[in-house]
Amino acid sequence: MGFVRHREIQRLGPNMIIRPNAGALDRDEVDVDEPGERRRRMVVVGALGMLGHRVADVARVHGWDVVAIDRPEIDITDLHGTTLTLERLSPTVVVNCAAFTDVDGAEEQEDAALAVNGAGAGNLARATAALGVRIVHVSTDYVLPGDATEPYAEDAVPGPTNAYGRTKLVGEQEVAEHNPDHLICRTAWLFGAGGPNFIDTMVRLADDRDEVTVVDDQTGSPTWTGHLAPALVRAAGSDARGIAHTVGAGQVTWRGLAAETFTLIGSDTVATPVTSDAFPRPAPRPAWSVLASTRSDVPRLPDWREGVKAHLAEVGRLREAA
């Protein structure tokens, strides 16, 4: 059928796996319940992405029967085709990691972004509801206005400031409206192996420069895919519904994140603070992207610093003494 092939994974213990092609430990900091006698099937949509492939890997290690799927095998903008595909795969839960993630590009291509982030998410919700299947949908801090001074709780009033955020908010609304058995997991400042991310960019720049200017007036909750993926797997097997915030604990500015990265790789590169005005972008970024995880029925992620350290270890850039 052309689905992404199941990759072999070695389990070393209850909270460790070796990921293929990485040769690094993936330490699951969040306990994931083992399945019972009845084998559960998870369909991961958007499985070729930085988060999706990790969700699929973690789910397999913890006993799920996983189908990892992406374009062209599934087109979530097509409701009929999506429903037929899911009916054939017969999942017990769908985890939607698919998204139009070009934040600046969405300013000029909002219709294209809306087709995936809004209508596409809605189509998955309709299809799963028709089949009696649970859906876990990944969303973003960008649905919030970014003008707060305290971490946003799950019941904060949305107010996106750019096209990407608007399309993701439509997706949240569509999922909530069309499938009552849903969990919307907002995350922020995502980084991990298998995709471009801020941490890897800073490592690359540190190899060539003595100084890097970095925005210091935007604050958020950096989140490692190695922490988020097991949390999503656990949430998929739970009864939790509604909106959850699944982000690295704590907060930091982009400059602070860069400085921590330089320290952990043993670089003398200096992260010099600048304001957002120094880097004009088509899409405005929220000044405040700190999310609070207040729910007791959804896993809370470790501190963002632990995620940065684990990621650098995985990609072979953590200095030995760190």
Q: Which residues are catalytic?
A: 164
The one-letter code for the residue type at 10 is: Q
Q: Is 310 exposed, middle or buried (0-12, 13-18, 19+ CB in 10 A)?
A: buried
Residue owning tokens 């610093």: 305
User: Which string of DSSP letters, residue by residue, matches 170-191?
Assistant: HHHHHHHHH-SSEEEEEE-SEE
Coil, strand, or helix at residue 229?
A: helix
* 41 token code pair: 């099937």
User: Which string of DSSP letters, residue by residue, matches 58-124?
Assistant: HHHHTT-EEEEE-TTT--TT-HHHHHHHHHHH--SEEEE------TTHHHH-HHHHHIIIIIIHHHH
The C-alpha atoms of residue 82 and residue 123 are separated, in whole angstroms, by 7
Evaluate whether 20 touches 32 at the Cβ level (below 8 Å). no
* 20 token code pair: 């293929």
* Nearest to 168, CA basis, from 265, 79, 99: 99
The C-alpha atoms of residue 195 and residue 100 are separated, in whole angstroms, by 14
